[in-house]
Amino acid sequence: MTNKEIYFDNAASTYIYEEVVQHINKINTEFFANPSSTHLAGISSFEQIKKMKENFCEILHIKPSSLIFTSGGAESNNFAIKSVAFANMLKSYNIVISSYEHPSVMNTAYYLEKFGFEIRVCHLNEFGHLDLDMLKKLVDNNTILVSTAHVCSETGSVTDIKKISDIIKAINRKCYYHVDAVQSLGKFPINLSMYNNIDLMSFSSHKIHGPKGVGALYIKPKVKIDPFIIGSQSAGLRAGTLNTSGICGFCLALSIIDKNRESNYIKTQILRKYLIDELNSAFSDDIFLVSPMDGSPYILNIAFRSIKSEVLLNALSQKSIYVSSGSACNSKTGISKTLKAMNIPKDFIEGAIRISFCDLNTTDEVDIFIENLKELIPMLQLFVRR
């Protein structure tokens, strides 16, 4: 029905801004020297990173010394959780996570059980948000870390990180709070000078039209943390030659998207509502809205009755329409733990797909998407019923 590619999988990865591509090429050509070298070429490379990093930190309202660049969001999450845990090794300690965390948070937390840490999981309430009453019961004087996503990568549920951070610190001032902000950077306002009770925050480049292979971790001053990769770079906390072009591309992407953040948000909000209205009109009883209505406008998770999501994904892919069945890091392992934790009706849960937007998506693309679904859903339901 269409020869034009329709990309609705922006929570997995985004196109790179052309301006960022050009900047990366320039850095690779003109500033290829190792930024740790003490000769003039190395110093020039380091100065490029320093300049771009200062702009990045200005947007987040943090000091450059509190930001460490990594290979991506997954590494940043691993870095935050493992390094806090290993710096505070007592077998009586516990770690609290939510039931909708990205695998790089959830699996890392469970990995720490072998070192004596107790992992406690906070579930969602009936509205798809973190159950704050349950959180208050889980956090105690032996909780060393709480880790939650700012925006759930599968459903778009938005966590009130200010409220949660205040709850945690009211119970245990020594407990650290880590926020996975991979899906909120560049989309939601993040002013860390206003979040005094947030200790660590993870970011990723390729979710905001930057290059793959680069991310960052904010570490609040005085957080007790072990080195993640031992060596000399990044204050001894994360060794390895700095990825000059990747870092500069990441910083430029944030600068670009931040300038348009408010207008992008409004535009995407309108687009998401339009899609929901069209879906309800076309499928009514055969569709279940998984995402909360007040969730991120950039992510919409829906489920179709009596449909296998992977079959629908493949059928849409054949028509050059790209969506996903959830987090790309979790999509090949069956029904995700996030969806299992939610009260999704049994005849819908296997038919959940995630549509995720960026600033380039349009209502025309939504119309084409709906027309293809009208053709595919009845056919696939008939196939399943056989």
User: What burial letters (b/e) apply to 271-291, b meaning 16+ CB within 10 Å?
Assistant: bbeebbebbeeebeebbbbbb
**Is 258 in contact with 186 (CB distance < 8 Å)?**
yes
As annotated, the active-site residues are 329
**Position 135, amino acid:** L
Q: How far is CA 327 from CA 83, 102, 161, 330, 366, in A?
A: 24, 7, 21, 5, 21
- For residues 351 and 283, give the distance between their C-alpha atoms in angstroms, rounded to a whole number: 13
Sequence-distant contacts of 271-276: CB under 8 A, at least 24 apart: 271/297, 271/357, 271/361, 271/362, 271/363, 271/366, 272/297, 272/298, 272/300, 272/357, 274/363, 274/366, 275/300, 275/355, 275/366, 275/369, 275/370, 276/300
